[in-house]
Structures are given as structure tokens and as C-alpha cells.
Chains A and B, each alone.
Chain A
Amino acid sequence: MAEPGRVRIVTDSTSDILPEWRERYGIETVPLTVQFGTDVYQDNIDLTPEEFYAKQEAGPFPTTAQPPVGAFEEAFRRMQAEGASGVCAVIFSSKLSGTYNSAALAAKNLEGEFPVEVIDTLSASMGVGYLALEAAKLAETGASLDAVSARVRELMPHVEVLFLVETLKWLERGGRINKAKSLLGSVLSIKPLLRLHEGQLEPFQQPRTRSKAIEEMIEWIKGFPDPAGVTVLYDGTSATRAEAEGIADRLGPSIPRDRVTIAHYGTIYAVHLGPRGAGAIVLRRV
């Protein structure tokens, strides 16, 4: 738990941040929700990945919802109550979700009472996670809210995110790939790689097989010299965990194994990627 008087970090559940980082730095995570019909589940809390995929396969098609403004407000007030000097909220790309909007409104509600800086990271998954982690590390040194926020903004352009899409069928229904729509026209089956650029998903490559896609993903990661952090993202099921470990192993020796984090994407991504998606996030050396 962070010491009183320090800046605290709030993020949302799409940051895929590791539980141990949350605990170590006292980072607060506000969950988005996923909805099957009228059943509402909190992202990463109420359903295990296996449970989620089983429901997804059975239908109906799930929808996602940004956290209510109140959830952020509550989180900010809790930080205040715990003695924080301010909150830096490190949030999912506003071009993919209304989460930023909720957080920004919540901050507005606290205007004059408690300082909150909400940052639209234009990033996703561990891209947001790394920014939250770096912010927390700086906050722990006693840095001001301005300094912490500046640090996040400084690092934002150095976060790279790539997703491997096993099947386009979920993304097609979810409609989150405006800038990669052309991929849906493929007559052939493809395992597209999408990269996050200026907050949106864009096509990167269109490999035909999963193994080719993974090769390309590894090449992509290795293309960043001496990264500060690398995360290999998998779907959260035990079936693909080994594959993610294998990717991590193959990044060496140029990227030491202990610098590679294995994480799984949450249910919000799972709605659009389905099972067997994968990803890579690189925090470049600044």
C-alpha cells in the first residue's frame, strides 16, 4: 500500500496489468463490464477465461460497456480517503472505448475537491499496463501529479501494441476495426496481425497461418532494440499458455527471458478476439 501524501494510479481493467503489480504499487483497477443478454459480468473478475469462451461460443454475442462514471468517482474518492495527494488515471484508448469519457467525467465531478489527471493513452492492454506501472514507480518516489502525468505522456509514443487475430469473425461482429476493415474482404482465411496506431487498430500483416503469424510477431518484437519491457499476450487458457512461453523463450538471447512478461488479455478483448488470439506489447527504451 502506497504511503499517504503520494500520487496514486488508477487504471481500467483493459490494461491487463498483473495482479502483483497492482498490489505492489497500490494501483486501482476499475472494471469494464461484459454482457450476455441481460447477464452482466465484471471484466476479469466474474468469469474465468474458459467460462467466458464457453459462453461466447454458445451465444448470444456479448456486448461490452465502459465503467459507469460512478465507478471511477468511487475509486478516486477511495484514493483520497486513503491519503493520496492526487490521482493519475491511465486509461484505455478513447478511440476504442468510452472508458476515458467515464473517467474524465468522474474527474470533473471532483474538480476543486481532489486533483485527478485523466490520460487518454491511445493504447491498449499491457500498453496501458506499462504506462500505469511506470507512473506508479515514479509516484512512489514522491513525484508530483504533474510530473507523473508528464512521465506517462512522455512514454506514450514508446509503447507498441500488436494483436494476432485467430479469426476475424468476432471482430467483424464487434465492429472495432474501422481502419482494418479491408481485412474482412479476404476470400482466404488469414491470421491478421493488427497494430495499434494513434489509438486505433490498423492492419500490419495478413499471414495465412498461425505459425507464420507468430514468426512475424517475434520478428516484430525483435525489431525493437533493447526494449525496456516486453509482454506476450495470450488468451488466458492453459491451452495457449505454453505457446506464449515458447514465444518468450525464442526472444532470447537479445531479450533476456526475465524481461518478458506473460499476461493474458481480459474478457473485453476476448469479446473481439475470441479464444486463441495473441498479442505483443513492447515498451521501447527511451
Chain B
Amino acid sequence: MSAATRRGVSVTRQGGTERPGGEAPTWAVVDGVGLLRALRAGTGWLERNVAGVNALNVFPVPDGDTGTNMFLTMKSAYAAAAEGGEGEERSVSDVASRAAYGALMGARGNSGVILSQIFRGLAKALDGHVTLDGALLAAALTEASAMAYKAVMKPVEGTLLTVSRGAAEAAETAAKAGGDVQIVLDGALAGARATLAKTPEMLPLLREAGVVDAGGQGYVVVLEGMRLHLAGRSVEAEELSAIASSGAGMAFDVVGMQEKHGADDYGYCTNYLLAAAPGTVLDFALIRETMAAMGHSAVIVGDEQYVKAHIHTTDPGALLSYAVRFGSLTQIKIDNMDMQVEHLEGSAPPDVAPAEPMGHISVVAVAAGEGLSAVLRGLGAAKIVRGGQTMNPSTQELLDAINHAPTDAVILLPNNGNVVLTARQAAEMASKQVRVVPTKSIPQGIAALSAFTFTADLDTNAEDMTAVASGVRTGEVTRAVRDATIGGVAVKAGAVIGLLDDVLTVSGDDSATVALDLLQRMDAEHAELVTLYTGASVADAAAESLSARIGERYPTLAVETVRGGQPHYDFIVSVE
């Protein structure tokens, strides 16, 4: 035990010293409960800034959910740490190790996985320590960053990784100068912010998109929240972080906020953006409370100028009438969820999924949308984990599916670039034999499944499926959530855009034309089969019309149209 830990919890908690002129206590040393509260503040602050972080997506697609993923990961970390209670005897070691476990199980998306590694590093550095001083914090941030780099096979600079290193380096400098916890954290935050500002210089894509790295921004927000707490300020009362209010429309993307609706949802899913009437300010807390009471499943974010609402209600008119009293409404979107549910229940293909695995191996796949799930099950997937483009599953969710799969050998298909790391993490943790075939899209996942050989062993299958999947090109048609110019393609918010292998490639006025344009770029002329997965919001007639147009343009091509039911993406196309 170090001298610091023997000083005792009560001493260190009282050990905050008044700074000259400052009202808030400052902290030379932090104990377990202090760390726990700082974590809660970091989590709460990130929650309030989720929309702003989400908006920092390079491509203006409606699935920029880095903020959501990092928040959910933080939330899981905090919840696990909080389980140990707030007893005075809690050590920073215990808080950090529980948080690391929570982050690991709750990690969603690549940024969430990296964040979970940061927690792992922290826990490793704090192992056996009762309290935390400036030097230990700096060492822990350094270990955290090193661990984060290890999470990624080919680390890319200009990302959360770089920001974590910037934070660690600045923290070390502050610690060497004898800084206490607060000063070291100040240093870390300053270092993180400075590095974040440089991320566009390191990654051309960020520069072109005019954004900083979203994961890096998320990390800065977490450090900010912890810093606010140490400064004695409540994250609930603060103005939103700089990013959230500077992003204008970006911070309030309608589509990105929408949640997946399950069978339990009913009524109308109502979304809108309220902007304060000129010269007035909004009483956000009051408005949020009132709106939330008018429906259920409410997600309401905002500040004095804007309120973004997502509410399920039986009376959308009443909600709109209430909101319009305070200013103007835009981005209004109302969906009848009862109809959606009926639609799905009435038309989803019959679930004739094989109860038995594919030989001695089961495949676990990630998918959003009833139709896509049915397609994967139809090809033999034993378990489907809901998620993908809009809601990345957590390590825990993937692990549960692996554990419930009927065999000891499992192949995991993440079907989304942002789920691959989580999948690898789940695979590492599982007690079964798991291989991840790193599919980045649904078409890749389907190609991988169709290359599954029932007689081959796990490794052979994983290799073959990986090889097949990597050769599959994916086209996706969605709508831009903000103005952007990427790779010479300029789009306005709301325009239909086409992505080819996740890269913004074309834009246009209607989704059918964009889909045709994508097909041409995918060399459909020399292909045999086009598969069109239609989104939840696409009418059958529109799908049939596009299918017919493809048939006219490529007479020798077979066109298969499947109701995928995926959110946000009107069409996903594959060519083979």
C-alpha cells in the first residue's frame, strides 16, 4: 500500500482544498466514491451531448450514432461501477475494475469498444489503489490510451485513439509539474481538445466533411463532464457543450434520433424540431417535462434555442399544438406505428428458420428489420441479434446470442463495419469457439452465409466466408441529414444519396434514380443477379417500379426484390 492510500478515505475526501477565490472544493486526491461520481458526471454530460456527437458523422447518413454508442457504453460502465454502492470504503481500484467490466459488456460500436479498452487500461493502472492522485491519474490515462491502441488492429491517427493519447501526454506533463487530480484532469482535457482540433488535419475525410472526429469528441465530452463535477458544477445545469450548439441543424438530426420500434410500441411516433420564436428563450426543462407527459418512450433533447423531440403518443396533434406555442416547428415526421407493426406482422415471410444449426456450426448474425432477419434465418442463421445501422448491439448482446446458439462452434456475422470490433470482443470473451467473419454490410453477410459449407470445419468456413464477403460490393440509398461535400459529391440536407461500400458516391432527387446510378457503378451490366432489399418506408409499388426499371435497363439480369424492412435506407442493393 502506498503512503497515499494509508492516509485514509475520510482524509482524502476532506482533502479538497479551497482554491483562492473559488467557491468549489478542488481535489488533490480522489477516492472510490469520488471517481464514481466523476464517472456519473462524465456519463450524464455525454448523454446531454449525444446528438451533437452523433452529428459529427463524416458521411451525412442517418446512422451517425457514435455519440449514442459511447453514451450507452459509458452508461453500462457507470451502472456496473455504481453497483458497488457509495460506501466510504470503496477504492478507486474497485470502481475502475467494475466500470471496465460494465464498459466491456456494454460496448457498442467501434468507438464503444475503444472506450471499453480505455476503461480496461484505467482499471489496470488503478489496480490495488484505494485513492487516486495526480500522478496516478496521469499514469492511468497513459495506460488507457495504450490499451485503446491495442484494441485496433490497424490504428488510424486522427481518431479517438489519437485524442486519448493527446489527453494522456498532457496529463503526464501536468503530473510531472506536481499537479493534483484536478490539475492533471485539466491538462488531460486541454490535451484532448487540442488533439481533437487537429483530427481534421490527420484524416482527410474529416477535413473534407468539415468535422472533427466523433469518437474523439465523445472522449472530450466525457472528460469535460468529469471536470465539471470536480469543479463542483452540475452537468444537468450546464449549457450544452460547444459542439452541440455549434452544429446548428447537425446537432438535431431527425432521423438519427429515431429509435427502433418494437412490437410493444403503439400510437404515433412523432418527431419534430422546435426552434424558439425570435427574441425568446425556451424553458427547456418545463417543455421536456410537459411533452414527456403527453406520450411515452420520449427522447427529448435541447437547450434555450432548440428542442428536438421524439415521442410516441396517441395524439400527435396535441403535441404539435403545445410545441408550436413556443416557436416554429420543422423536421416534422409522424409515423403510425400500429400500421407499421401490422404491416410487418401481416407480410413478413413465414419464419421457417431451421431450429437446428448448420451441421456442427451455428451462425449468429446482426440485422435490423424483420425482412432482413428472415432472409438471414432463411439461409440458416441460428440467431439474429437486432441492430446494425441504427443501433449497434453491445458486447453483452452478442455474447448472449453466442451462448444461446445451439452449438459450441459459432460464426459471427456483424454485418456492419461499426459492429466488427464489438463482435471480435464478444468472440474473445466467449467460452465457445467463435470466429468473426467481418462482414460490413447485409449483402456481405448474405454472401458469406451462402458460401457456408455444411461439411467444412469452423476455420475453413470462416476463411472461405471472409474471402467471399470481402469481394461483395454494397450499394445503399438513404437521405443526407446535413449539407456536405465529400469526394466531389455535394449534397444538401434531405437529398437522396447513394453510398457504395460506405462511401458517398452519388446523389439525386429520388431514391430509384440513385439506386440505378449505383447499379451502373457496381457494373451490373456484367452481373447475373441483383438483389434489392427495400426499406421499411418504401411502398411495394415503388419497389416494383424500380425492379421493373432495372429489368428494362439490364434485360439479362435477374432481379430479386426482398422486403428488408430496414430503417433509414430505402434500398440496399447487391450485385453478383
Contact = CB atoms under 8 A, between A and B. Distances in A.
Interface of A: 181-182, 184-190, 195, 197, 202-212
Given A186-B379, A202-B454, A203-B454, A209 B356 contact: no
B380 A208 contact: no
Given A185-B350, A186-B379, A204-B455, 13 more contacts: A182-B353, A182-B358, A182-B380, A185-B352, A185-B353, A188-B379, A204-B453, A205-B454, A207-B451, A208-B446, A208-B531, A211-B528, A212-B450
A206 B452 contact: yes
B402 interface: no
A209 B529 contact: yes
A212 B452 contact: no
A145 to B, nearest CB: 35
Contacts, number: 70
B210 interface: no
A218 to B, nearest CB: 14
A212 B576 contact: yes
B450 A207 contact: yes
Contacts of A186: 378-379
B451 A205 contact: yes
Contacts of B531: 188, 208
Interface string B317-356: 0000000000000000000000000000000011111101
B375 interface: yes
Nearest to A194: B454
Contact of A187 (B356, B374, B450, B451): B374
Contacts of B282: none
Closest 8 CB pairs of A and B: A182-B354, A185-B352, A186-B378, A187-B378, A209-B528, A187-B375, A185-B378, A206-B450
27 contacts: A182-B352, A182-B353, A182-B358, A184-B352, A185-B350, A185-B351, A185-B354, A185-B377, A185-B378, A187-B349, A188-B562, A189-B558, A190-B379, A190-B450, A205-B452, A206-B452, A207-B450, A208-B446, A208-B447, A208-B529, A208-B531, A208-B576, A209-B558, A209-B576, A210-B528, A212-B450, A212-B576
A132 to B, nearest CB: 26
Given A208-B529, A209-B529, A209-B576, A188 B446 contact: yes
Interface of B: 349-354, 356, 358, 371, 374-375, 377-380, 446-447, 449-455, 528-529, 531, 558, 560, 562, 576
Contact of A195 (B353, B377, B451, B455): B455
B321 to A, nearest CB: 43
Contacts of A181: 354
A158 to B, nearest CB: 16
Contacts of B379: 186, 188, 190, 206
A208 B449 CA distance: 10
A206 B375 CA distance: 13
A187 to B, nearest CB: 4
Contacts of B380: 182, 203, 206
B449 A206 contact: yes
B543 to A, nearest CB: 14
Contacts of B374: 187
A189 to B, nearest CB: 6
A22 B188 CA distance: 86
A202 B562 CA distance: 26
Contacts of B449: 206
Nearest to B376: A187
Contact of B560 (A182, A188, A195): A188
Given A208-B529, A209-B528, A188 B453 contact: no
Given A186-B379, A187-B562, A204 B529 contact: no
Nearest to A207: B450
A197 B377 CA distance: 24
A148 B68 CA distance: 72
Contacts of B529: 208-209
Most buried by B among A181, A206, A211: A206
A209 B526 CA distance: 13
A100 B454 CA distance: 28
B550 to A, nearest CB: 15
A159 B206 CA distance: 59
B369 to A, nearest CB: 12
B466 to A, nearest CB: 16
A190 B375 CA distance: 11
